[in-house]
Amino acid sequence: MLPFNFRYFKPQTAQEAVGVYQGAKNQQEIPFYFSGGTELITLGRIGLDYADDVIDLKGLPGYGEIFFHDQFLVIGAGATLTSIEENKNFPLLSKTVSEIADRTARNKITIGGNICGKIFYREAVLPLLIADSLVGIMGAGGLAYKPLNDIFNQTIQLQDGEFVFTILIEKEFLNLSYFTQKRRKQWKTGYPLVTIAAIKRDEEIRMAFSGVCPYPFRSKEMEKDLNDNSLAPEDRAYRAIGSLPSPILDDVEGSKEFRLYVLKNMIADAIRELEGEKVGQ
């Protein structure tokens, strides 16, 4: 149960959704784009989220669909993690999202909600960052496509009233060699201690991380060290960790010392696997 009342809207077009949002703002109300709704329910219950006007995006045509168009795999922001897990057209993404939360939650959580949410792990963004994805953003001026790497800086940078409508991944990225692994402190579900997603493209390793800093990231500086073939995988991992964008997390999920140890080993395993050595997962 949420401890506040709200008005519920289910627009039938993206323009209508933006219009409802703007209308609420004009009335000094707090609008909320609602996708899977799990975060509003979880955080709203404990007073960490609030809405006067809930705008449910799931009625928008195409919002939950996954299909191919020209050279792209198109994933609607309203596609649930379960549907992406089962779709398998982008195996790295399917495998990464299959480790988020539990099956019941994944049936509700959408990819748009995961990458735009307040809960900072946002693990679904990792494969999208390393695959140079495009994001279709809907706003007052219509739909605009932007490279995710340009607009994702700790969080996705949206203007007030904009929402993510769709995500595009070029076909050439879908079936590259990949590595994805999530380590938790304990149990089979839960937030990550460290999650890594990596691919190898044109002989270069690309890697993105969640659980390491208080936001997910891909770092070009770290990738320089990861691709220094003159060094052993452990040494490359050690050097890359020297370029982390923020101090490593030290929290209930794990101490910074333990995280560093796990991170270094996972990076070395990823390098070995992508360079053709089999490692035990």
Question: Contact positions toward ligand FAD, by CB under 6 A?
Answer: 32-40, 42, 57, 77, 100-101, 105, 108-110, 112-114, 116-119, 121-123, 163-164, 191
At its nearest, how many Å lie between ligand FAD and the CB of residue 272? Answer: 26
The single-letter code of the amino acid at 160 is D
Provide, for the chain, the percentages of residues in helix, strand and coil under a 3-state DSSP scheme, each rounded to the nearest 5: 35, 25, 40
At its nearest, how many Å lie between ligand FAD and the CB of residue 45? Answer: 11
The residue number whose beta carbon is nearest to ligand FAD equals: 113
Between residues 54 and 205, which has the closer beta carbon with respect to ligand FAD? 54
At its nearest, how many Å lie between ligand FAD and the CB of residue 22? Answer: 15
Between residues 7 and 118, which has the closer beta carbon with respect to ligand FAD? 118
Give, for 227, the enclosing helix (H) or strand (E): none
At its nearest, how many Å lie between ligand FAD and the CB of residue 10? Answer: 13
Contact 256, 264 (CB under 8 A): no
CA dist., res. 197 & res. 92, Å (int): 8
CA dist., res. 259 & res. 257, Å (int): 5
Task: Please tell me the number of Cα atoms within 13 Å of 220 on its side-chain side.
Answer: 3
CA dist., res. 211 & res. 184, Å (int): 9
Contact 82, 64 (CB under 8 A): no
- For 120-272, strand residue ranges (E) read 134-139, 142-147, 152-153, 155-156, 163-170, 178-183, 194-201, 204-213, 215-218
Task: Identify which of 259, 98, 84 has the alpha carbon closest to the alpha carbon of residue 169.
Answer: 84
Between residues 57 and 84, which has the closer beta carbon with respect to ligand FAD? 57
At its nearest, how many Å lie between ligand FAD and the CB of residue 238? Answer: 27
At its nearest, how many Å lie between ligand FAD and the CB of residue 104? Answer: 8
At its nearest, how many Å lie between ligand FAD and the CB of residue 122? Answer: 5
Between residues 108 and 272, which has the closer beta carbon with respect to ligand FAD? 108
CA dist., res. 50 & res. 4, Å (int): 8
Between residues 114 and 180, which has the closer beta carbon with respect to ligand FAD? 114
